[in-house]
Amino acid sequence: MTEHDALAHNYHPLPVTIARGEGVVLTDVEGKQYLDFLASYSAANFGHRHPAIMEALRAQLDRVTLTSRAFLHDQLEPFAEKLTRLAGKQMMLPMNTGAEAVETAIKVARKWGYLVKGVERDRATIVVAHGNFHGRTTTVISFSDDEHARADFGPYTPGFRTAPYGDADAVERAIDEHTVAVLIEPIQGEAGVLIPPEGYLRRVREITAKHGVLFIADEVQSGLARTGETFAVDHEGVVPDMYVLGKALGGGVLPVSAVVADRDVLGVIEPGQHGSTFGGNPLAAAVGSAVVELLEPGDFQRQAARLEPVLREGLEALTDRGVVDVRVRGLWAGIDIDPSLATGREVCERLAERGVLAKDTHGSSIRFSPPLVITEQQLAQGIDALSGVLGELSR
């Protein structure tokens, strides 16, 4: 029994208790400072308490915070206009969490399939990828293949078919006459920052267009500047039919998510068919607008692209020290530690002792996703800490 026993055990946090955050730096209750190399799984892409986001938040706190969608408010349409312009789409539907936005995309795709494509009612299938992570709701875990995430939570929602990640031919084989959409992460985050082979996203775009099914890109973690582009699909010049956004859209302060698509897709939803008490609330919309304004000039995207080689070279230099694989796109990296040396967890615990916070994903994989406001020097400091930990472990 621990002092935390009032808290359900659905997480196993590192033994660090944060009290403050500013930019890239988190400070614990004892005053010890850490470099944040996780950025709340990319939800804090702009750093902790970014001044523009705090200003938008404070201004809105003094006006109105929650109206529900029963009434209009003056923040939502400007947010929708900005976000759709950023994505080059016509409509958005606001929700709160990433999982809710994924659920929204599934509902929209199914209804689009029945109404527009003419798929037989209640027979729709959606093709997903092995190793996917799209959230924790009962429907979303139904098409996860992570047994730990799904065992004992059945019965599962039917209507999903799985293809190996990175294999476009397998996606095509999984499409049948009932298929309404292909739902994939352009880079698999939770799986350990797995980057598909070059050309995969382009081929999935061609295949989905050829078969008349929607391409849904879950950019909840990969999107909004993390990879050096606004969206990870931009690296292959691909435009999906639907973007699923979350995490960084809330500016590190609130849950804000959305699906963004053209009118011929999102327009199938009519009043009463989908919604959320908090989705698109004034505070969330004000913060979401501030986030889009930060993204419009492209500086965060460029910063991530500029630091990519620093991160890659720093990590690749450790491949003779216990790092067995390095995957980098923008300011986002997944590494695998030689399992005979340590688990990802052990490395993260030792990194925390050295003042760097990162999180293992599966077994021996660790993900690095520092806030995009990180300096080259701070980035080097984090990599040095990792080098120190690996040295200590191999002694």
Ligand X SMILES: *Cc1c(COP(=O)(O)O)cnc(C)c1O
Instruction: Count the Cβ atoms, other than its own, within 10 Å of residue 138.
Output: 13
Question: Residues 6 or more apart from 8 whose CB is under 8 A from it?
Answer: none
Please report whether residue 135 would count as binding ligand X according to CB under 6 A. yes
Please report whether residue 279 would count as binding ligand X according to CB under 6 A. no
Three-state secondary structure of 335-361: EEECCCCCCHHHHHHHHHHCCEECEEC
Please report whether residue 218 would count as binding ligand X according to CB under 6 A. yes
Stretch that binds ligand X, among 74-82, 97-105, 165-173, 232-240 (CB under 6 A): 97-105
Please report whether residue 336 would count as binding ligand X according to CB under 6 A. no
* Burial status of residue 210 (CB atoms within 10 A of its CB: 0-12, 13-18, 19 or more): exposed
Give the x-and-dash track for 142-181 against ligand X (CB under 6 A): ----------------------------------------
Residue with the shortest CB distance to ligand X: 98
Question: Residues 6 or more apart from 9 whose CB is under 8 A from it?
Answer: none
Catalytic residues: 133, 218, 247
In the complex with ligand X, the residue whose CB is nearer, 140 or 326, is 140
Distance between CA atoms of residues 325 and 217, nearest Å: 26
- What's the closest the beta carbon of residue 200 comes to ligand X, in angstroms? 16
For residue 90, give the 3-state DSSP assignment: coil
Q: Could you tell me which of 323, 272, 260, 270 has the C-alpha nearest to residue 111?
A: 270
In the complex with ligand X, the residue whose CB is nearer, 102 or 258, is 102
- What's the closest the beta carbon of residue 201 comes to ligand X, in angstroms? 15
* Buried b / exposed e along 144-158 (16+ C-beta atoms within 10 A): beeeeebeeeeeeee
In the complex with ligand X, the residue whose CB is nearer, 117 or 134, is 134
- What's the closest the beta carbon of residue 216 comes to ligand X, in angstroms? 11
- What's the closest the beta carbon of residue 224 comes to ligand X, in angstroms? 12
- What's the closest the beta carbon of residue 99 comes to ligand X, in angstroms? 3
Helices (H), 176-216: 200-211
Peptide bond into 155 cis (omega under 30): yes
Q: What is the largest CA-CA distance in the chain?
A: 64
Please report whether residue 189 would count as binding ligand X according to CB under 6 A. yes
Stretch that binds ligand X, among 3-11, 12-20, 185-193, 264-272 (CB under 6 A): 185-193
Q: At what angle do helices 376-393 and 344-353 cross, to 10 degrees?
A: 120
- The binder of ligand X chosen from 34, 133, 200, 231 (CB under 6 A): 133
Stretch that binds ligand X, among 133-141, 192-200, 268-276, 367-375 (CB under 6 A): 133-141
Q: What is the footprint of ligand X within residues 28-57 (CB under 6 A)?
A: 41
Contact between 258 and 94 (Cβ < 8 Å): yes
Order of strands, sheet of 356-357, starting from the edge strand that comes earlier in the sequence: 18-22, 25-28, 33-36, 356-357
Q: What is the footprint of ligand X within residues 221-260 (CB under 6 A)?
A: 221, 246-247
- What's the closest the beta carbon of residue 244 comes to ligand X, in angstroms? 7
In the complex with ligand X, the residue whose CB is nearer, 125 or 369, is 369
- The binder of ligand X chosen from 45, 75, 84, 97 (CB under 6 A): 97
Q: Could you tell me which of 266, 247, 265, 267 has the C-alpha nearest to residue 255?
A: 247
- What's the closest the beta carbon of residue 188 comes to ligand X, in angstroms? 8
Stretch that binds ligand X, among 93-101, 111-119, 225-233, 234-242 (CB under 6 A): 93-101
Binding-site ranges for ligand X (CB under 6 A): 41, 97-99, 102, 133-135, 185, 189-190, 218, 220-221, 246-247
